[in-house]
Amino acid sequence: MSLPYQAMLNPDPKALRHMIRETGALGVRFPSASWTGVQSGLYVMRAPGYDIDSVDAIQRSRISHGLQHFYVRPATKAQLLSQGLSLNLSTMARQGRYDAEFGDRRRWETLVEAAFACTEISFPAAFCGSRMAAYMITCREHRWLHILRQMSCQEDLPNFPDHVLTYMVTKQAASDEALDAICYGYVPLCAAGGLHEYKLGFGYEMIPHRSAIQLHPALDGILNSGVARAAVRAARSLCHQYRQLETLETVLQGAHVSGPPG
């Protein structure tokens, strides 16, 4: 995926195909105001006066409840290495997905070591005493703060650690005069069970754009066909509990409809 997320791109198609071949990527996804693609968007906050009144009533009550149980501060490397993996596995299990960088201990340790070598990346976390209930990975890029990941423990969810963390990180960043905006990520490729309403409830705005998808040329010839897309749709109707099929269907549809201007 392209970085930074907010940059609208218009790449040369030949150069893009060359990059995909050279890197061995299965494909690319990028936001564009000129290419065709699937409807998507970016969750953005530009509110220097952000406070509890910027949040809707439902989220306000959950934040108030959560603040009775948790406080927010940056997690240390040692805390992430000892406690982070269990939060990752808990989050991915309830979301029906798996990412080896967050699920395999060795790869998780590599990620944490790399992140702490970069001064612009931080791990704000919600704690109950010394126990970590939720954490984020954030990255400052020029005058934007990007919330890249958010993980939490299933057992703590009734006390709303995610709500406390989202509010406190957003409030602190919104008061930072060195920042122009906070980005809470892309609209996901598959339905995310209330995530859209959650982010809007915290005062974020969804800025729409088209998300262009291009597959590796070797894959494109096989998968970017009506037969392949119909097969995936049929599989989804039979196995609707597998979110990976919904993501795959969106990727194939995106590759089918995406193209340069003109």
Contact 27, 20 (CB under 8 A): yes
| pLDDT (0 to 100) of residue 17 | 93
**DSSP symbols for 150-190:** EEE-GGGGGG-HHHHHHHHHHHHHHT-TT-SEEEEEEPPSS
End-of-domain residue from the set 179, 204, 237: 179
- Domain-embedded: residue 22: yes
Position 133 in a domain: yes
* 7 within a domain of the structure (yes/no): no
Q: Provide the 8-state DSSP code for 148.
A: E
Q: What is the pLDDT of residue 140?
A: 95
Q: Does any domain span residue 139?
A: yes
- Number of domains comprising the chain: 2
**Residue 67 · residue 167 · CB < 8 Å:** no
Residue 199 in domain: no
Both 18 and 70 in one domain: the answer is: no
**Pair (147, 25) in one structural domain:** no
64 plus 163 within the same structural domain: yes
The answer to whether residue 199 scores a pLDDT higher than 70 is yes
- The residue among 129, 167, 174, 171 whose CA lies nearest residue 150 is 167
Tell me the pLDDT band of 176, cut-offs 50, 70 and 90: very high
Contact status, residue 254 vs residue 211, Cβ threshold 8 Å: yes
CATH number at residue 95: 3.40.630.30
In a shared domain, residues 58 and 102: yes
CA angle 52–59–190, rounded 5-degree value:
125
Mean pLDDT of 131-138: 98
> Is 26 within the bounds of a domain?
yes
Q: Do 132 and 246 sit in the same domain of this protein?
A: no
Q: Is the pLDDT of residue 142 over 80?
A: yes
Could you report the per-residue pLDDT of 216-245, keeping only the tens digit for each? 988 888 887 888 778 877 877 777 666 777
Which pLDDT band, with edges at 50, 70 and 90, does 192 fall under?
A: low
pLDDT for 84-121, tens place per residue?
A: 999 999 999 988 889 999 999 999 999 999 999 999 99
Could you tell me if residue 63 is inside a domain? yes
The neighbouring-strand residues paired with 183 are 44, 146
Q: Is 31 helix (H, G, I), strand (E, B) or coil?
A: strand
Mean pLDDT of the chain: 92
SS (H, E, C) 40-53: EEEEEECCCCCCHH
Q: Is the pLDDT of residue 193 over 70?
A: no
State whether 168 and 62 are in the same domain: yes
Q: Which of 150, 179, 208 is the last residue of a domain?
A: 179
Sign of the four-CA dihedral 179, 183, 184, 185: negative
Is residue 156 included in any domain, yes or no?
Answer: yes
Q: Are residues 124 and 227 in the same domain?
A: no
Same domain, 96 and 170: yes
Residue-number span of the structural domain to which 33 is assigned:
13-39+216-257
Question: Which pLDDT score, from 0 to 100, does residue 240 have?
Answer: 64
What pLDDT digit, counting tens, does each position of 32-73 carry?
Answer: 989 999 999 999 999 888 999 999 999 999 999 999 999 999
